[in-house]
Structure 1
């Protein structure tokens, strides 16, 4: 069937009825008007276009009043000021936002820093700047970051009375900022595949009077026993983490190794990398691609040529570092079949468990002074020392800095560098104070 081209008038309706012109048929009214214009003779003057709205009396124009927007949840329309509290001393500015203003995304913080809207004590600040207690943070009006897909919240299982009692029995030191436990061998520090029992899962039992969950700041291998430091507050967690990363924390281990090292006091400097094909579960010495690793050892006593009791101090923090280094120099730790193979076991009454124990941990305390704690040996380690004829009282050797001696040239250089660093830090604080008091340029 042939159809008419679109837009052409279709002629009068059937039945001779006139097209409706009311509001009830706007399409037909417009079509009729268009047809009337098409039939207009040439030379006719155009009629005035009817106004779509009825004429109204002229009145004074209304003054536009801006609508006051209602802030959404997490949004502020005003500049805000926040003072840095003691628990936030030393943390990065961007992490302060994550902790206190989580609705503000990192992109917003970076943009404010670039444009000078984000200020600390009146001075421009960068997301990576470290905060100091008492500083004032200026936060401009913000928009919440884009909502993320809801993730299922992991609910930790409720600890039984026996689990709580067990966790609290491990505590060998406790103060307002730190807890030190004596981790038994066989208990992992953190969970993983097929690992349900671990220290991290017991931390709810170590809240005590603070009513906040403690935090791990370092770890020990599952089969390594001994002193494990746990932070009780966010401030102490940041402080201790920095101490471990900067290597100012001191850790002293005891180990019984196969054979006797030819040098009584030595430094092992061998780079370590993940061993290919093990899924990262095993490390090895890799001179080409390994990361630098340094371990010091000191022989405490020897059992003929059969075994030696040694003190170990890691100067870096690579995975399995002490175990890899001792095996690399031909003296694997007794019981460490992973790195020593069949040669890492003694016959007789010596236990087949690993003989590596974190004997001592010493670290500066956030409130001043130091945490300096020693952990007693597990039963199998103490029994092996006795079986091999070692004197347990001879084990605690003094650290180098604990030996009274005249300061060397290197000691004087270190002290001078530390003093210069403190002076520079003080000057930065003075510049910030001057910047906060100076009038703002317009």
Structure 2
């Protein structure tokens, strides 16, 4: 174990990065749980003050780094990936260039780890190397949502990509199958959401915008096709990035996404049968960190294909850009 206390400066290209990810770049063998414990006990400090592992760092901030275990002391489960895991991570790639990686995240695979989650996208990124070679997550998808997930190669690319999401410059299109037929068939849901619970029990609910903890949330939707009165295939566009936003908004609209155990109702649960969550991050369009527009689409996952087959939907019914101009304003 290193016995020195260090004070390191957050680089300009790392402005806005989370503390735990900042640590992970420099000491890949240090787990998220270890960073949490060090922050909670006050051993990690930012500009002399206590902080949380998920706090965002500003360029120029001074981070107190306590003595850390050497890589050789890390538990074997925190070690490198197997060749099989590396091959699996690479098999998810939809696009890769010198600054951006786009993955097709399967349903059921978490983006980040937790107390009982040891296999997740963040861990698989070690397939590309460690330290500064390791790609950075710039946004998230729910565990059971499939589709496009973008990564930044290097701190500058990651910062630009994350900035595009934060400033609503990333145009995201999700496909979902919902219970019933939304009326009107297209619209904008403006409904504040408030979190409750933690980890696997985390859920959001509609809230008064003035309620403490409530966050504004906006979702555009367009009906693409219908299966009689039973179900509809809709395109969804989140204009904000709240936890479970699409799932909570469609449930509040009275048309829960099928296969959703958290936000479904009795009718949607019966209609879903054995289907998994029918929500897929189909397409992302944003400015590439190196210049020009970047568009990437993810093919349907196995669970979405099952939903399409069950209700008789066909991919060729959808336009690449299903939203009218007034819904592209943000």
Sort the TM-score into its range (normalised by shorter chain): 0.7 to 0.9
| Aligned residue number for residue 307 of structure 2 | 384
1:104-253 mapped onto 2 (5 Å cutoff): 149-152=66-69, 155=74, 156-207=78-129, 212-253=133-174
Cα–Cα, structure 1 residues 74 and 328, in superposed 2: closer, same or farther, change >3 Å?
Answer: closer
1:308-346 CA-partner distances (Å, limit 9, x unpaired): 000000000000000000000110000001111333334
Runs (4+) of structure 1 exceeding 6 A deviation are 127-130, 276-280
Structure 1 unaligned residues grouped into runs of 5+: 1-72, 76-86, 100-104, 109-126, 131-144, 406-410, 415-442
Paired residues of 1:362 and 1:373 also in contact (CA < 8 A): yes
| Aligned residue number for residue 317 of structure 1 | 241
Number of paired residues?
279
1:361 aligns with 2:284: yes
More strand by proportion, 1 or 2?
2
Paired residues of 1:256 and 1:333 also in contact (CA < 8 A): yes
Secondary structure of the corresponding residue to residue 340 of structure 1:
coil
Paired residues of 1:172 and 1:375 also in contact (CA < 8 A): yes
| Aligned residue number for residue 272 of structure 1 | 193
What TM-score does the superposition give when structure 2 sets the normalisation length? 0.75
CA distance in 2, matches of 1:152, 1:163: 25
1:37-52 mapped onto 2 (5 Å cutoff): none
Structure 2 unaligned residues grouped into runs of 5+: 24-44, 49-56
| Aligned residue number for residue 300 of structure 1 | 224
CA distance in 1, matches of 2:294, 2:267: 38
Relative contact order (C-alpha < 8 Å, sep 6+): which is higher?
A: 2
Cα–Cα, structure 1 residues 150 and 380, in superposed 2: closer, same or farther, change >3 Å?
Answer: same
Paired residues of 1:351 and 1:380 also in contact (CA < 8 A): no
Paired residues of 2:46 and 2:64 also in contact (CA < 8 A): no
CA distance in 2, matches of 1:376, 1:215: 23
Paired residues of 2:101 and 2:153 also in contact (CA < 8 A): yes
Secondary structure of the corresponding residue to residue 295 of structure 1:
strand
Q: How large is the Cα RMSD of the aligned pairs?
A: 3.4
1:123-170 CA-partner distances (Å, limit 9, x unpaired): xxxx9789xxxxxxxxxxxxxx89754244674322111111110000
| Aligned residue number for residue 337 of structure 1 | 261
Paired residues of 1:274 and 1:280 also in contact (CA < 8 A): no
Secondary structure of the corresponding residue to residue 265 of structure 2:
helix
Secondary structure of the corresponding residue to residue 263 of structure 2:
helix
Secondary structure of the corresponding residue to residue 339 of structure 1:
coil
Paired residues of 2:194 and 2:205 also in contact (CA < 8 A): yes
CA distance in 2, matches of 1:277, 1:243: 28
1:393 aligns with 2:316: yes
Paired residues of 1:88 and 1:234 also in contact (CA < 8 A): no
Cα–Cα, structure 1 residues 149 and 317, in superposed 2: closer, same or farther, change >3 Å?
Answer: same
